[in-house]
Structures are given as structure tokens and as C-alpha cells.
Amino acid sequence: MSSVTLGNSVPNFESMSTGDKSIQLSDYQGKYLILYFYPRDNTPGCTTEGQNFRDKIAEFEALNTAILGVSRDSLRVHEGFKAKQCFPFDLLSDQEESLCNLFDVIKMKNMYGKQVRGIERSTFLIDPNGILIHEWRKVKVKVHIDEVLQIVKELGA
């Protein structure tokens, strides 16, 4: 499967999520969807990013926008992370990397002097018709939430 590109339809993917649910893109038809990819549960940057989305959830919901987090962690680990951080949105487990490959977020990264394959922190905005309309790559957690919220507001979601 090739990766998605801006301005094009996102294929109707299906993934297991927290709450023992199977989630499909089509479940969000009629809403904007933020899909944010992060490297790993319970790490400082990933925790802060999730908390930032959690803390702004009411603003996003008022703009007809849902949020889903994605990493390669297991559902068991996701359940603990979600509960500990009181995330009001689901986390998708992508251990097979099908979503990661679809959105082309697996990159070679330097970690402690070694090259490792990992998720490049990235966020994607999908419109109510399933079209990829915005992407943020190499996300900097500190300012990211405000950038995403500003774009959603500008869309008049």
C-alpha cells in the first residue's frame, strides 16, 4: 500500500484501539480527525503531547474534531497509559506498522549514537470526507497543540 498524500483520500483503514474496539476511518465520516503518531507510551515527550491534546479536547470537540493517538505499543501498554493520563480519546496500536507505513512515519533516527527505526512524531488532519488536508512532520511538542488548534479554527470546523 502506498502512502497517503495531501489533498487525496485516505484509504478506510481499520485498527484495534483502547477500550477493546476496532476503529475505522469511516467511523469519523462527517468529522475532522486528528491522527497523531508518537514514538512510545510513557516517555516524557509523548506524555506531554498526549496531555496537551487531552487538555484541549473540549475545544477540538466544539470544532467537530476527533483525536486518535497512534504508536507501535501494545494495547495493554496503551490501556495503562490512557488510564494514567486520563486521555479522553482512544489510542491505536500499530504493532504491524500498517498505519505507520500508510502515513510514512517510520524513519531512521539516531538514539544514543545508534541508528534505529522509529516513529517520527507526526500529526495528520483528515477532513469530514476522508481527505488528508494538513500534515505536521518532525513535530516539536512545545508549540504543536497551538498550531493544530489554530488550523482547525481557521477551517471553521
Q: What does the chain come to in residues?
A: 157
Please report, for residues 3, 6, 35, 39, the alpha-carbon distance to residue 99 in angstroms, rounded to integers and kept in the order given.
Answer: 9, 16, 10, 13
Dihedral sign for Cα 27, 54, 58, 124, please: negative
Q: Quick one: CA torsion of 134, 79, 50, 139, rounded to 10 degrees?
A: -50
Which residues are designated catalytic?
A: 46
